[in-house]
Structure 1
Amino acid sequence: MILVTGGLGMIGAHTAGALADLGEDVLVVARRAADLPSFLSGRVAVETLDLGDRDAFLGLGDRHDIRGIVHLAGSIPGPDPIDFFRHDTAVLLNALDAARTWQVSRFAVASSVSVYEGRQERSWTEDLALPLAELPHAIAAFKKAVEPITMFALAGTGVKPVLLRIGGTWGPLMDAESPFNPIPRTVSALRRGERPAALSEHGDFCYAPDAGRAIALLATADALAHEVYNVSSGIRCTGEQVTDALAAAFPDGSFGPAEGGSEDGDAPHLDIARLRAETGFEPAFDVPDAIAHYVAWRAQYPR
């Protein structure tokens, strides 16, 4: 069985679904009870517990035969970043403690595209040195710290670490008004009959079902040659592409002028050659397909 923490969130749920598609037994654990997404119904085991409670976390091993962990759980920072760092660090350490106690074969953990902040290259590969740079928010800072903590904690234990540098993922189950990606809130505005601003140039967007499948492949591959993998679409997504796809999905909608113009005419993207070579992953969704799928999803679900 593979444990997915944060398995009722956007990336976690799609990872759990992809693992089930691969024939794996999956345990989904979340801190708070939530409705099970329709695509997971009857396909995964679910437990709700405080992931910051070490004894409760380790108790999962008494009830389930857990052979791998995909740690995707994370919280949203409040006004004081110390509270956020304290909570999410405790959860990470509990997950690492569980991995060592249960002697799982592989521990995959969410890092982030933000670790590359400060690199001037437009295509970011896993072998780039990570600079000391000002990061955009507390989540980015924590994700950058996750990598060395995980590597040191698992060194010499026999547990294989897999650091998932996840790109700008969006899709079903994302907060419909999320500040981290403009597509869901633009779709919300169009569904309300409003006229949203046109989208500026953006970077590497990955559709959540593709991200989940990539993570599932990394969690189940027979062997991996590295510890670090970029997880994303591998292409630069432009505002024009997104706007055209939204216009096709909402032929009666209209867009206002772009706010501030292009953010970056040569926005960076994640190179996923390593992911492709070792797992055979290829994105199933291009920009028009992803938006058409998401618009259809939002016709049935609020997020």
Structure 2
Amino acid sequence: MILVTGGLGMIGAHTARALLDLGHDVAVTAHRRGEVPSFLAGRVTVEQLDVTDRDAFLALGERHAISDIVHLAGSIPGENPMDFFRTDTAGLLNALDAARTWGVRRFAVAGSLGVYLGRPEIPWTEDLALPTAALPHLIIAYKKAVEPLTTHSLAGSGVQPVVLRIGTIWGPLVDPDSPFCPIPRLVNAASPSPGLHTGDGGDVCYAPDAGRAIALLTTAEKLRHDTYNVSSGRPFTYGEFAEALKVDLPPGRANGPGEDPYLDISRLTEDTGFQPQFDIAASVADYVEWRKDNAR
């Protein structure tokens, strides 16, 4: 059985679905979120768990034979950054402790494309040295720290670490008012959003594709690396979304000429065969259909 922490969140739920579709038994942990999305209902084992509780975390291994862990659980920063860092670091260390205790085959953990901020190269590839740069958000700062914490914690344990540098993900279950991605607001309103221009854009991946990529990395017979970009592998523009929605956006780019960065996924494709199944038009159509019966 494969354990997905945070498995009722957007990326976790789509990862769980992809793992199920590949024929694996899946257990997901949930803390504050209890509603199981329709595409997982009756298919997945749900464990209520506060990942900061080490004893409760390790007790999962007494109820299930866990072969691999995908650690996607995380919190949202509040006023005190120490509370956020303490909570998410405790959850990560407990997940790593469980991986070592249970002797799982592979431990995949959520990182972020934000670790590349400061690199001028486009696209961003995994072999770029990560720069020392001012980071715009606590979550990005934490995700950058996750990488060495994970790889060093698992060194010599026999557990293979897989750092997932996840791109800009949107789709079913996304926060409609996400501060990291204006696409849900554009699609939900089907009208121009302030500040968006046709030429702006960058990295984007539809959630079912991202979940499938993570599932393939978790279950691949062999991986040649411990770090993988997870996204669609192509740049996008808001103009493409506007065209699919048949709405108008101001032309050009908000900040003048240039291009926006995106993730290269050659390494992911070479090791798993992953190719995204959703283009812009297909993702918009699928999401609009989903929202007819779902709040997010």
Question: Which TM-score tier does this pair reach, normalised by the shorter chain?
Answer: over 0.9
Query: How far does the alpha carbon of each residue in 1:214-245 deviate from its partner, in whole angstroms, 9 at most, with x for none?
Result: 00000000010100000000011111111111
Q: 1:266 & 1:146 partners in 2: Cα distance? A: 28
Query: How far does the alpha carbon of each residue in 1:102-154 deviate from its partner, in whole angstroms, 9 at most, with x for none?
Result: 00000000000001010010111111100111111000000000000001100
Query: Compared with structure 1, are the counterparts of its residues 84 and 41 closer, same or farther at alpha carbon in structure 2 (3 Å cutoff)?
Result: same
Query: Compared with structure 1, are the counterparts of its residues 98 and 263 closer, same or farther at alpha carbon in structure 2 (3 Å cutoff)?
Result: farther
Query: How far does the alpha carbon of each residue in 1:132-181 deviate from its partner, in whole angstroms, 9 at most, with x for none?
Result: 11111000000000000001100000000000000001110011111111
Aligned partner of 2:240 in structure 1 is 241
Aligned partner of 1:287 in structure 2 is 280
Instruction: Give the alignment's TM-score, normalised by structure 1.
Output: 0.94
Aligned partner of 1:199 in structure 2 is 196
| Equivalent runs, 1:151-166 vs 2, <5 Å | 151-166=151-166
Q: 2:8 & 2:33 partners in 1: Cα distance? A: 9
Q: 1:199 & 1:217 partners in 2: Cα distance? A: 34
Instruction: Give the alignment's TM-score, normalised by structure 2.
Output: 0.96
Q: Percent identity?
A: 63
Query: How far does the alpha carbon of each residue in 1:37-88 deviate from its partner, in whole angstroms, 9 at most, with x for none?
Result: 0000111100111110000000000000101000001110001111100000
Aligned partner of 2:129 in structure 1 is 129
How many residues are aligned here?
Answer: 294
- What SS is found at the alignment partner of 1:269? coil
Does the CA-based 8 Å contact 2:196-2:249 persist in structure 1? no
| Partner AA of 2:196 in structure 1 | L
Q: 1:196 & 1:268 partners in 2: Cα distance? A: 21
Ranges in structure 1 where 5+ consecutive residues have no aligned partner? 248-253
User: Could you tell me how far 1:189 is from its partner in structure 2?
Assistant: 2.0
| Equivalent runs, 1:81-160 vs 2, <5 Å | 81-160=81-160
Q: 1:25 & 1:262 partners in 2: Cα distance? A: 48
- What SS is found at the alignment partner of 2:242? helix
Aligned partner of 2:175 in structure 1 is 175
Aligned partner of 1:226 in structure 2 is 225
Query: Compared with structure 1, are the counterparts of its residues 130 and 198 closer, same or farther at alpha carbon in structure 2 (3 Å cutoff)?
Result: closer
- What SS is found at the alignment partner of 1:47? strand
Does the CA-based 8 Å contact 1:198-1:259 persist in structure 2? no
Q: Quick check: 20-29 or 31-40, which moved more? A: 31-40
Q: 1:244 & 1:130 partners in 2: Cα distance? A: 35
Does the CA-based 8 Å contact 1:197-1:257 persist in structure 2? no
Query: Compared with structure 1, are the counterparts of its residues 233 and 263 closer, same or farther at alpha carbon in structure 2 (3 Å cutoff)?
Result: farther
Query: Compared with structure 1, are the counterparts of its residues 177 and 106 closer, same or farther at alpha carbon in structure 2 (3 Å cutoff)?
Result: same
Q: 2:252 & 2:128 partners in 1: Cα distance? A: 33
User: Could you tell me how far 1:255 is from its partner in structure 2?
Assistant: 4.1
Does the CA-based 8 Å contact 1:210-1:283 persist in structure 2? yes
Ranges in structure 2 where 5+ consecutive residues have no aligned partner? none
Q: Quick check: 6-15 or 43-52, which moved more? A: 43-52
User: Could you tell me how far 1:20 is from its partner in structure 2?
Assistant: 0.1
Query: How far does the alpha carbon of each residue in 1:178-223 deviate from its partner, in whole angstroms, 9 at most, with x for none?
Result: 1111111122223xxx654473301110000000000000000001
Does the CA-based 8 Å contact 2:187-2:284 persist in structure 1? no
Query: Compared with structure 1, are the counterparts of its residues 264 and 282 closer, same or farther at alpha carbon in structure 2 (3 Å cutoff)?
Result: farther
